Structure 1
């Protein structure tokens, strides 16, 4: 499934959109409860993504998926929802420039979980980068 760009380009675009998410969310959370804001965000995502999937002819019956696939997608959705609720609450009370980098501790956790559960083996250079991200999170977490 090659769509002209490799994984790195898609990941960079993801990072750019994630950065915009933090800025737009911080601006949008000024006069609304963070949980309600998360609901609005989720509804918009569902509508836009459903239209995109339908327009590209990729819609199919989700119940036709293997049970394990559907189960892991449901678990992923639940984890995403929990992440969004926590992220929006943190953004409502903290600075975007602090919250977003700490949220990226997920980089370290993904590497550890992928090592433990998916048997992925990052190279020493990759572990160094992951450790540097973790160190950055610690630096941001210390009070001045």
Structure 2
């Protein structure tokens, strides 16, 4: 069991499961509310839960122990996350969850490309074929006939 809990694959699949539930719960939750207000409520819940986890598990770090570079990139990541959430909830408000979520998952394709361009990551031909299939699949699922 300890091996499974230390596996990135386990956590990635769990993340995908929660992301799927996020889309379904959000689509139901935003039926009678502005999508930006819904995003705000979601963010407050996340802050409270994560704060509780950090305090309860003793993982809290003093802010002064974190480097300026780390702050810079975490702030940029937070801004990108916020923009992503605002756009995602707006898309859910306007479209079907079964079509919005696959287009949102084009982020997988974008991460692969950006990882190669900016982080120097290497992908093999089978990896690129998988990326192309993800892109094609996302577009096909989002397509409305």
CA distance in 1, matches of 2:90, 2:68: 33
TM-score (norm 1): 0.94
TM-aligned CA deviation for residue 82 of structure 1: 0.2
Relative to structure 2, which stretch is displaced further, 3-12 or 104-113? Answer: 3-12
CA distance in 1, matches of 2:12, 2:74: 20
CA distance in 2, matches of 1:43, 1:3: 31
1:4-19 residue pairs with structure 2 within 5 A?
A: 4-19=5-20
1:30 aligned to 2:28?
no
Where in structure 1 do 4 or more consecutive aligned residues deviate above 3 Å?
140-143
CA distance in 1, matches of 2:54, 2:118: 30
Find the counterpart in structure 1 of residue 120 from structure 2: 119
CA contact (8 A) 1:62 1:70 kept: no
Query: For 1:16, what is the secondary structure of its paired residue?
Result: helix
1:1-144 residue pairs with structure 2 within 5 A?
A: 4-144=5-145
CA distance in 1, matches of 2:70, 2:11: 23
TM-aligned CA deviation for residue 31 of structure 1: 0.5
TM-score (norm 2): 0.94
Relative to structure 2, which stretch is displaced further, 22-31 or 63-72? Answer: 63-72
Query: For 1:49, what is the secondary structure of its paired residue?
Result: helix
The Cα RMSD (Å) is: 1.4
CA contact (8 A) 2:91 2:100 kept: yes
CA distance in 2, matches of 1:36, 1:110: 28
